[in-house]
Structure 1
Amino acid sequence: MSEAFGTIRTIPASKTAKIQMKQLVKKGLFKEQRDAWRLGASLGISKGQTKEVKNRETFQNVNSIDPDGIFAAIMLGLYPDMTPEERINKLVDHAEWGINEIFHQSEVGTLSFEDLAVKIKD
């Protein structure tokens, strides 16, 4: 599904998102940061929410985040008229929102993976 992201090989993340993912892993809520990223992106996509952040750094390889091309297929389906760069930026915007939401819920003590699954389904 290379047409979705073109020649882009890495996915960026903001410093804040990286810190939040590290803390979520440290709390034992996720095994790896990319797991937090994937759930964050899924949540953001399902809720139609984004968080635009200007300064981002390299996070992980596209193939590490999306080895089966699921995000690529979803993003191509949702945003067929975007360029690959616009599409990857939109995916990262969805992930930034979702990571922030998961982190916030974990901080205030309301994080429930069961509730998140229901929210994604609805």
Structure 2
Amino acid sequence: MKTQKNNKVLKTSLIIAGLIIILSNTPPAQFFFLEEYHYTNKDQSFNYTEFPGKALDFKVGQRRWERFKTQHPEKDHTLYRTFRIKPYQFWEWWQYIAHPKRFTLPYTPPN
């Protein structure tokens, strides 16, 4: 009897935790939870911040980065992310899956 009750509590807890993780990774919820992602090159002659709600996403940043490199061939051509990867923030997990290139950029601390 006690084992059945414990199993039921465990099952209910796992279902609730799963629902929280799934719902927190949907677009309406992510609008409120998403971090701003910042990018720069080493000498900070290029800077970009993503604002997904304003259509300034990673793709726009990539286009601006490519344009910067053609307009400034003498500048540093390595793009860095200035944000840390935080796998414990489960509401960001969809970003890791949908936009993996963003997280494979080398890290440099923000100045």
Q: What is the TM-score of this pair, normalised by structure 1?
A: 0.25
Identify which of structures 1 and 2 has the higher relative contact order when contacts are C-alpha pairs closer than 8 Å and 6+ apart. Answer: 1
> Which structure is larger by alpha-carbon Rg, 1 or 2?
2
More helix by share: 1
